[in-house]
Amino acid sequence: MAVSPCFDAGSDYCPCVLAELGQCVACSLIRGEPTCKCGWSGLCIYAEFLRAGSKARPRRRELSARILSREEIARTPRTRAFLLELEVPKELSAWCEAPGSFVLVRPRGLPERFNVPLSVMSSRDGILTLAVQVVGPKTVALEGSSREGRQVTLVGPFWAGIQGLEHLSRHAGGSVLIVAKGIAQACVVPAARYVNLKRGTVRALLGGGTLGSVFVLSRLLAAGASAEVLPKEDDHNLGRISSELSAHRYDVLLSAGADVQHNGLRQLLKQMEDPPAFAWTSNFSMTCAEGICGSCLTGGLRSCKAHIPESI
């Protein structure tokens, strides 16, 4: 298994059970290798593990969250999507304010295999707003049980929803271009708010994608971003995005959408002499979100926890 900085490093959940099993995402020493090559996350996970008696810290706990409201954002014969507002402990909502935060949600009473990873679109005062697109059995089950006043089971917070987050942190006071389409729009509101708080500027180019709905416009404007809704184009708006990148100097390009969008934007950046740093939303398969089940393995890295290199 490759070694990479871990999103959980230094949190209340580190060291995790992977350390007990000798499978730590970040620490080569815990994995039994002779030298340290951890990519330094700001603390020594090996020392923390020894200090804890070679025991993992408690895992994220499951809790019941009450549905405060449900709002349909797309409903056609082929596409269904909705927003959920959930009431959660204020401590949890505070940890979900970070860009890239997500939670696992499932209907109450169903087993863990029904967990759905959902990006946090908004988090404030004990209320989470999540966007759900109905695409398969797990989201169908969640749709059927999502009624105001009902309870769902929730696990979180997790933070691997945006890869390249270190670029956003380093250049938050600069200029950020966001390209967001489909259900991935949900990821970008916390990112825009974060940049705005750091006194940076955000420009967003938005599209409905396969969802056919732009549902974050008002929230992005409220977060201090400027925004433009793009029409459907045969080139997936790559020409318009290329013009935007050429006309303005951006420090970071954040792609929120499908992998085909990520790859198209990567190709645009390769053609630039001095391209902005690149961040992108995670589209990796996830089941447990703890690095245990292996469904998220990408290039030997457990993508629900590891910072994935741009080359993968």
Distances (CA, A) of 215 to 161, 186, 198, 202, 236: 19, 8, 25, 17, 19
Query: How would you class 184 by CB atoms within 10 Å of its CB: exposed for 0-12, middle for 13-18, buried for 19 or more?
Result: buried
Given a contact cutoff of 8 angstroms between Cβ atoms, the answer to whether 184 and 117 are in contact is no
Give me the pLDDT at residue 172, please.
Answer: 87
pLDDT digit string, tens, across residues 226-251:
999 999 888 889 999 999 999 999 99
Question: What is the pLDDT at residue 291?
Answer: 86
162-281 CATH fold = Rossmann fold (3.40.50)
pLDDT at 3: 55
Q: What is the dihedral of CA 138, 143, 147, 153, to 10 degrees?
A: 20
pTM of the model: 0.92
Any idea which fold 62-158 has? Elongation Factor Tu (Ef-tu); domain 3 (2.40.30)
pLDDT tens-digit readout, 151-176: 999 999 999 999 999 999 999 899 99
For the chain, give every residue range classified as CATH 2.40.30.10: 62-158
Range(s) within the chain of domains with CATH label 3.40.50.80: 162-281
Euclidean distance between CA atoms 87 and 129, whole angstroms = 9
SS3 264: helix
Strands (E), the chain: 62-75, 80-87, 102-107, 116-124, 127-133, 151-158, 162-163, 175-181, 201-207, 226-229, 252-256, 277-281, 297-298, 301-302
Residues of the chain scoring pLDDT < 70: 1-3, 39-41, 311-312
Q: Using CA atoms, how far apart are residues 10 and 24, in angstroms rounded to an integer?
A: 13
CB atoms within 10 A of CB 152: 22
Confidence (pLDDT) at 39: 64
Q: What per-residue confidence (pLDDT) applies to 1?
A: 45
Query: Tell me, what DSSP letter sits at residue 22?
Result: T
What's the rounded Cα separation, in Å, for the pair 269 and 2?
Answer: 26
Residue 309: per-residue pLDDT:
80
Pair of tokens at residue 241: 């995005």
Strand partners, 131: 83
